[in-house]
Structure 1
Amino acid sequence: MSTPEEQIKKTTFDYIVVGGGSAGAAVASRLSEDADVEVALIEAGPDDRGKEVILRLDRWMELLESGYDWDYPIEAQENGNSFMRHARAKVMGGCSSHNSCIAFWAPREDIDEWEQRFGATGWNAEMAYELYRRLESNEDAGPDAPHHGDSGPVHLMNIPAHDPSGQALLDACEQAGIPRTAFNTGETVINGAGLFQINRQADGTRASSSVSYIHPIADRPNFTLLTDLRARALRIDEDNTCTGVDVVDGAFGRTRALTARHEVIVSAGAIDTPKLLMLSGIGPAEHLRQNGVAVRVDSPGVGEHLQDHPEGVIQWEAKQPMTETSTQWWEIGIFTTTEDGLERPDLMFHYGSVPFDMHTLRQGYPTTENGFCLTPNVTHARSRGTVRLRSSDFRDKPLVDPRYFTDPHDMRVMIAGIRTAREIVAQPAMAAWAGEELYPGAEVQTDEQIRDYITKTHNTVYHPAGSVRMGAADDTMSPLDPELRVKGITRLRVADASVMPTLTTVNPNITVMMIGERCADLVKQARAASTQDRSVGATAS
């Protein structure tokens, strides 16, 4: 593997993708399929090849707050846990190299809403499901799921039913009125529980975007991978055309200028993408001025509409020894509703076969070495937060303010989640497994007591999204048009979770890869149209 000094011998490319994460790896891989274009992929973190702690999916929890984590603190929360941190991966593959690889196709209603409610023309379930098929191979889909792909780069598999406590939990869900179900069948699961599908290879290697899209093409002649290079600012000329990006190498601290002949695609994620745009003069004008950044485009929606899946936790001591092996320790999902008439579930649980005391221990709650937990999370939180600059220095972490539970809907759903978790675990099927409830504890019963517990101890499912959303061309609060182009700047697009008008009901990682696939299609279409225009012009002359 080359050093940053050796890497940047070439500085001009047709396309530059900033961020080697879930979407960025897909964009770069697909664009480089055209042998006539030169593509560079820039990643601030290291290469993941040869790093077992990254590649082994069952070690993912070791990565939280590690050297492979940007580890963003959040601003003080008026209604939430101010100790909480947003893990953002600092390595090739981005959060797909850092997460538990829970693999979901989003409900059709989620994607259709982007088009119907927000004016993101072309973003609908028909489009998305075609791209889901293209990006995945799914040997476990079975004959009842003919919609699945069989030759895509991202390998999906069913989690095997090896955990006896987990199987008892699924029995308990049935006893509580939540039937067993399969996921990724093409139908929206409003009330159901089952083992997840995950993007993992048969040998236990995570099928991250890096493993799936970049490892196979790393030696492609027209593809250049540049790691350990941090984007400082986009290069934008006097005509508001993006011509490239300034990067700083981690080894020597030197700024280099990289040039894009055609387009730059920013795929730095829902926290770092708005930061980079603002550092480049694209964002809320007054905020930019306050931080000494010259305003190129007054785009008030940059850094707005930050969304997430807030997560609570309820933990039990186990009466029997818990499993000592797992694909990734969080193998079961439960969906249900807290009110009638919903077309999508408003409550989701992840089941963990390990203790989860990240925020409870500091509050004095007991812990265990042998336990299981359920983590209720709000699938469609209504609270909205912001990402802002801390200063004009690219090295400073941004100000991340999720504003958790500022909409009372979210706390209502979370309180209902704690009560539903107790109802499930109280069923006969869990009698041989469920010992003492460690937190919040059996004495915490009233809404007020549960609210206080959640406020002090809640976490996130690490799903920030929506901070540079796409929308109708005339929507001033949507910084992007439906083709992911940054309004007011030419030759610049965004492709990552920040573009989502609303966060998906489910874990969004596969959808973020789908966004990368869609972006590559849009760029290819623009290139084809430009080539045709030049051809017609030459013929006419």
Structure 2
Amino acid sequence: MTTFDYIIVGAGSAGCVVANRLSANPNISVCLVEAGGNGKSPWVSIPAGIFGLYGNKKYDYSFVTVPQKNLCNRVMDVNRGKALGGSSAINSMVYIRGNRNDYDGWSALGCDGWCYDDVLPVFKKMEANQIGQSAEYHGFDGELQVSKQQDANKVGKVFVAAGKAAGLPENTDFNGVSQLGLGIYNVKQDRGQRVSSYTAFVKPIENRTNLTIMTHTQALDLIISGNKTEGLMVERAGVQQQLSCNKEVILCGGTILSPRILLASGIGNKEELRQLGIDCHHHVPGVGENLQDHIDSMVTVRSSKADSMGVSFKTLLPHVLPAPFKYFLGRKGWWTTNYVEAGGFAKTTLAIDADTDPDIQFHFAPLYRSHRGKKFEWGHGYSVFTCVLRPISRGSVKLANDGSKRNVLIDYNFFAHEQDQQTLVEGVKKAREILASPEFDHLRGEEMAPGEEVQTDAQILDYLRHTATTVYHPVGTCKMGTDSMSVVDPATLKVIGMDNLRVMDASIMPCLTSGNTSAPTMMIAERGAAMVLAEHHR
């Protein structure tokens, strides 16, 4: 079968949700196209398995950026999931939605219907909260299971307690009244196993006869006639074929691949398409623009104490060797970790002066992260990662001018705006303030990065230029809105100028949310699927 009512491109955080909702009607035929495999490796389901997923080209696209001109011309990794579940199959599983002002900010930019009061019921509908948190903010009957961590390391609790010395209270619900404070993160897990968009939304219904799942299938470009999308060209095992749609094609390829497909199909800036030798079907200049991500820094400390996770003679017998048995017998031990077990949100001096929401987020890892960039270091320690929540710098995703129409040029343009630089410098200082708390005295060790010699703002900024990276939350390249650079209509998520082509993924966010982006992407898909059903299947 090569003709379907709906073709969904990408089986990630968004695509799996859309496939579930549309195929719930047995009279609708749905095809879900995924370039990766089924993602059923135990290293995907075991939380600690993420250590071996980043950079593994079986599960990770392993994109890289162009040299970042404000970061010493460094080329940076852009890890994105390639399997059923997409990036939700390789991420750290942290469940964060963002705050009220994020979504009210979208509405203020012309995205009517996307304010906080509009999206909160959608989050609640999808959630299966296992923690017993407030029903005002949480749902309990959805498919997406949210739980406490099975066996959080005690050093994470030290980090939370240390926040009080820096004016940061303990926060047990970052999706509730306020984001401010530190806490142990809630995660998308079920009894110690990863919950991805695939396991939550597709695995339980993948035997529906009206749902076709095509893995190891790369989407090439769209087949367009006038304002209509007639289908999709794909490649499978080196053979190209055409998939036809009766109703719509829905792009859920994410912030990197959704604009790539549009540009390859002749939807984008007509002058740039002309230079690439691509016929322009629709002049939509915003395609691939407005790229945003949370730029991230690291403070990492060595410790002689074996309280944290790490491989040493002190931990081989009690923790390292028994870890598989503890996991499979009781869902306990180090294999349950998502590595960034604790974290939270704070205001730098820049945000305090402006009386705004938190402007930085912490991810705390109860282990030593190599100051040399190695995947593994012998011994113990702890690390704080700090990111800029609402960056002002904007980048882009462009097609490479190599004739393939498959390769992309990713330019985050990090630190293009001075305020982003200042915010992250202040963020490093705030992280250090927390680690200076007496709560850490029994674990005190040498700060390996940035290092005790790095103290002034200029020195910290130089350290950041040489080391800062992405926290893997790219959004914005097919933004919704009403201005001249908008790509999709907020009311329908249809690509401007097209009758039956929609985008439903993180690329439509006009601005980054404050926190991890997997849950907001699923919310976008839930709303988008409802739009399709309301239009065609009342």
TM-score normalized by the length of structure 2: 0.91
CA distance in 2, matches of 1:161, 1:227: 34
Task: Measure how far apart 1:161 and its partner are.
Answer: 6.6
- Per the TM alignment, residue 434 of structure 1 is displaced from its structure 2 partner at its CA by 2.4
Compared with structure 1, are the counterparts of its residues 161 and 178 closer, same or farther at alpha carbon in structure 2 (3 Å cutoff)?
A: farther
CA contact (8 A) 1:319 1:432 kept: no
Q: Which moved more, 1:370-379 or 1:322-331?
A: 322-331
1:354 aligns with 2:345: no
Given candidates 275, 281, 287, the residue that maps to 2:272 is 287
User: 5 Å matches for 1:335-374?
Assistant: 335-338=345-348, 339=350, 340=352, 341-357=354-370, 360-361=371-372, 369-374=379-384
What percentage of aligned pairs have identical amino acids? 35
1:97 paired residue number: 89
The residue that corresponds to 2:531 in the other structure is 522
CA distance in 2, matches of 1:18, 1:278: 15
Structure 1 range deviating more: 408-417 or 391-400:
391-400
Read off the aligned partner of 2:485 and give its amino acid letter: M
Aligned residue identity for 2:157: Q
Instruction: Tell me which residue corresponds to 1:431.
Output: 441
Q: Is the 8 Å Cα contact of residues 219 and 235 (structure 2) preserved in structure 1?
A: yes
CA shift, 1:367, in A, is 6.0
Using the TM superposition, give the Cα deviation of residue 53 of structure 1 relative to its aligned residue in structure 2, in angstroms: 1.5
Letter in 2 for 1:206: R
Shift of 1:105: 2.1
Match of 2:155 among 165, 168, 179: 165
SS at match of 2:445: strand
Q: What is the Cα deviation at residue 437 of structure 1? A: 0.3
Separation (CA, whole Å) in 1 of partners of 2:515 and 2:170: 17
5+ residue gaps, structure 1, are: 1-9, 530-541
Shift of residue 507, structure 1, vs aligned partner: 0.5
Is contact 1:145-1:186 (8 Å) kept? no
Q: Distance in 1 between the 2:345 and 2:33 partners? A: 38
> Kindly tell me: are residues 61 and 393 of structure 1, through their superposed partners in 2, closer, same or farther at Cα, counting changes over 3 Å?
farther
Contact 1:307/1:464 (<8 A) preserved? yes
Q: How far 1:192 sits from its partner (Å)?
A: 0.5
Using the TM superposition, give the Cα deviation of residue 288 of structure 1 relative to its aligned residue in structure 2, in angstroms. Answer: 0.7
2:371 is the alignment partner of 1:383: no
Asked if the contact 1:104/1:183 (under 8 Å) is kept, the reply is no
In 1, the alpha carbon distance for the partners of 2:204 and 2:111 equals 33
* 1:388-433 deviation digits (Å, cap 9, x = unpaired): 0003645743000000001011111111111111111111110011
Determine if the alignment matches structure 1 residue 131 to structure 2 residue 130.
no
User: 1:462-473 counterparts in 2 under 5 A?
Assistant: 462-472=472-482
Tell me which residue corresponds to 1:254: 239
Residues 232 and 394 in structure 1, CA contact (< 8 A), matched pair in contact too: no
**8 Å contact from structure 2 (residues 8, 19) kept in 1:** yes
Q: 1:162: how far off?
A: 3.6
Amino acid at match of 2:60: D
Partners of 2:97 and 2:151 in 1: CA distance: 21
**1:134-533 alignment, distance < 5 Å:** 134-142=125-133, 144-159=134-149, 162-189=152-179, 191-202=180-191, 204-237=192-225, 239-249=226-236, 251=237, 253-321=238-306, 322-323=308-309, 324=319, 325=334, 326-338=336-348, 339=350, 340=352, 341-357=354-370, 360-361=371-372, 369-391=379-401, 393-394=403-404, 396-472=406-482, 475-482=483-490, 483-528=492-537
C-alpha contact 1:303 1:388 (8 A) present in aligned 2: yes
Residue 87 of structure 1 is matched in structure 2 by: 79
Contact 1:232 1:248 in 2 (8 A): yes
* Distance (Å, rounded) in 2 between the aligned partners of 1:186 and 1:393: 49
Q: Distance in 2 between matches of 1:159 and 1:343?
A: 30
Total equivalences in the alignment = 506
The 2-side partners of 1:25 and 1:174 are apart by: 40
Contact 1:307 1:502 in 2 (8 A): yes
The alpha-carbon deviation at position 333 of structure 1 amounts to 1.3
Instruction: Give the letter aligned to residue 107 of structure 2.
Output: E
Aligned AA (1:29): N
Could you say what secondary structure the match of 1:158 adopts?
Answer: coil
* Structure 1 SS opposite 2:291: coil
1:334 Cα offset (Å): 2.3
Residue deviations 1:181-226 (CA, integer Å, cap 9, x gap):
112452132x300011110111x22110001111001101111111
Change (3 A) 1:248 1:342: farther
Could you tell me how far 1:170 is from its partner in structure 2?
Answer: 1.3
Cα distance change of structure 1 residues 87 and 17 upon mapping to structure 2, 3 Å threshold: same
The one-letter code matched in structure 2 to 1:477 is M
Contact map agreement 1:195 1:332 (CA 8 A) in 2: yes
The alpha-carbon deviation at position 169 of structure 1 amounts to 1.4
**Residue identity opposite 1:426 in structure 2:** A
Q: What amino acid is aligned across from residue 347 of structure 1 in structure 2?
A: I
CA distance in 2, matches of 1:517, 1:215: 17
- Kindly tell me: are residues 281 and 392 of structure 1, through their superposed partners in 2, closer, same or farther at Cα, counting changes over 3 Å? farther
* Structure 1 residue 20 corresponds to structure 2 residue 30: no
Distance 1:186 1:198 in 2: 15
Instruction: Please say if residues 161 and 195 of structure 1, whose CA atoms lie closer than 8 Å, have aligned partners that are also in contact.
Output: no
Contact 1:73 1:86 in 2 (8 A): yes
Question: Does the 8 Å CA contact 1:306/1:384 hold for their aligned counterparts?
Answer: yes
Deviation at 1:449, TM superposition (A): 1.0
TM-score normalised according to structure 1 size? 0.91
Tell me if the contact between 1:42 and 1:226 (Cα under 8 Å) persists in the aligned partners: yes
What is the CA–CA distance in structure 1 between the aligned matches of 2:211 and 2:366, rounded to whole Å? 41
Structure 1 runs of 4+ aligned residues shifted over 6 Å read: none
The C-alpha deviation readout for 1:223-260, integer Å capped at 9, x for no partner, is 111111100101111x22011100000x2x11110011
> Which sits farther off after the overlay, 377-386 or 179-188?
179-188
Q: Contact (CA 8 Å) 1:104, 1:510: kept in 2 or not?
A: yes
1:537 match: none
> Which residue identity lines up with residue 352 of structure 1 in the other structure?
A
How far apart are residue 446 of structure 1 and its match?
Answer: 1.1
